[in-house]
Copies of this chain bind each other. A is one copy, B any other.
Amino acid sequence: MIIIMERDATVENINAVTGLLKEHGFQVIVHEGDVHTVIDALGDKTTLSANQIDAMDGVKKIKFIREPFRLASRDRKQEDTIIEFSNGVKIGGANRPVAMVGPCSVEDNFEGLLEVAVAAKELGCEFLRGGAFKPRTSPYDFDGLGEKGLKYLAKAKEETGLLVVTELMDSEDLDLVYKYADIIQIGARNMQNFKLLKAVGKCDKPIILKRGPASTIREFLLAAEHIMYNGNENVILCERGLKSFDSAFTRNLLDISAIPVIKKYSHLPIIVDPSHGTGQRYLIEPMAKAGLVVGADGVMVEVHHNPARALSDGKQSLSIPQFKEVFTRINNLIDTLHLEKSMSIPNVE
């Protein structure tokens, strides 16, 4: 921690800071510059919050040396985290990128859902996704089937062998969702719902954590840290687009470079969601490919048996015939490139 004092900080201000630091066991070095005094505090004590130093009189700014996420950091664990499922499917590391597909929300039409699942299975996808509980910006929109939706997912799993990914919105539904899900998803709007992060941190199912639309990479990894800190290290990150000043053509701005950045600083797997990430059907294919080519461990794509009648997110869903076309090409890209993670980690430093 490096503490930069204000131009007009007094000797008393400086002594108060160094005093508190020493009290907490830091080694302290003071540099008196011609404008600012700078204090180096060496050590990594957790008994003193940087906020306290920051609030002291005469302190201008604190600069940190270490990233604040620790469990999620490659500094702690250098090899990639790999998550393995009962049927042998693996996410992360040098494994083939996975595909998670399905409707935004599970609707009251099991046949439609099954049609999607069957097509997904045929194309080699590993996961069926679908929401039974849906966060909705407006209270006038459809907010999910609840347990009925979970049961439909379970039935589709039974018939196809696909693993199930579904969202948990509130800790009170955890037991219910836990029963049906192979991966529990935390949505972008809940990325900093710390009670929820704590709750899933205490369970033993893998978690997909979606990046909040205005969260920095650091905040994203700190949200993962909340889950890991509570005991669950099986976190899969998901980049799904940021709020930007230009929403004329896309709903969000998909941050492709976040994928290799996170690969460099964290050992956790990360997937890409070009459906929410762009909000536009025609951008799903190119942006899925962009994510894969920079090293994503999987893609999550919305597919609906009849997008024009979908109760949510139809604009960004593929129909089944479109899905087949698009994923044939995506599978091709993966195969041709032998897209193993070893290749996609850039070795230029």
Contact = CB atoms under 8 A, between A and B. Distances in A.
A339 B138 CA distance: 34
Nearest to A279: B54
A112 B289 CA distance: 36
A260 interface: yes
Interface string A22-58: 0000000101011110101010101001011011111
A109 interface: no
Contact of A139 (B225, B308, B312, B344): B225
Given A248-B216, A293-B293, A49 B311 contact: yes
A36 B315 CA distance: 19
Nearest to A192: B189
Contacts of A80: none
Interface in A1-40: 2, 4, 6-7, 16, 29, 31, 33-36, 38, 40
A135 B66 CA distance: 22
Contacts of A285: 346, 348
A317 interface: yes
A238 interface: no
B51 A312 contact: yes
A71 B172 CA distance: 29
Interface in A276-303: 277-278, 281-287, 289-291, 293-295
Interface string A306-342: 0111111111011000100110000001001100000
A287 B294 contact: yes
Interface string A89-127: 000000000000000000000000000000000000000
Q: Which among A34, A57, A214 has the greatest number of chain B C-beta atoms within 10 A?
A: A214
Interface in A164-217: 169-172, 189-190, 192-195, 212-214, 216-217
Copies in the complex: 4
B253 A278 contact: no
A313 B50 CA distance: 10
B135 A194 contact: yes
A95 B250 CA distance: 27
Contacts of A278: 257
A84 interface: no
Contacts of A348: 281-282, 284-285, 318, 322, 325-326
Interface in A222-271: 222, 225-226, 229-230, 242-250, 253-257, 259-261, 264-265
Given A55-B310, A250-B261, 8 more contacts: A38-B65, A172-B195, A190-B193, A214-B243, A244-B245, A259-B286, A286-B294, A325-B347
5 contacts: A52-B308, A55-B307, A139-B226, A260-B286, A284-B346
